[in-house]
Structure 1
Amino acid sequence: MTLKAAIEALYYDADIWEDISGVTNEASSAAAGLTLTEGQLSWACIPTGLLDTYEAIRAKAQMLLTEGTTNMSDMAATLRKVAKAYEISDESASRRFDGEWEPVR
């Protein structure tokens, strides 16, 4: 794999991570809207603890999706930074060694 192909692969992977973060963000927003009340469940949801259990699970799912969104977005940003660092390093090396060596043709 050439350096150019590796850099392109880093940007490609970053786009995938960013797309996935968008999906988890939408899921987190959807989970936020899934709250229920006693009237929506059953008269028995309070004495049995169902309402509290449901809310704890819903809140946990929302939290994990929100954290996942942040982590995936951070991964995309990191991959883009690495790709940019490789680009800058390659350009710098190219300028530094310009004229030092010419391939035999």
Structure 2
Amino acid sequence: MKRAFVLAALSLAAAAPALADLALAASKNCMSCHAVERKVLGPSFKDVALRYKDDKDAAAMLASKIMKGGKGVWGPVPMPANNQVSEADAKKLAGWILSTK
């Protein structure tokens, strides 16, 4: 019984950062155009993570795109700038997106 409780607690602790970052993505309106596992208007976060899995500069590049927007990488629909996202939050979101692979 005690072991099951410890395992459950560890499982929740491991999931907490992922849920917190999903909550951050939702609070910054990322989920209006993206989803974790499927394309919406923009690519899924898992597809982004897979595309940039071997790029050591991906986190910084994605954080910049989150704040400034971008176009042409995933098709003709541009990603608008997100002025409401701070640099710290953009870095946190970029790291989380890259971890979704």
Scaled by the length of structure 2, the TM-score of the pair is: 0.33
Higher relative contact order (CA 8 A, sep 6+): 1
Higher alpha-carbon Rg: 1
Which of the two has greater helix per residue?
A: 1
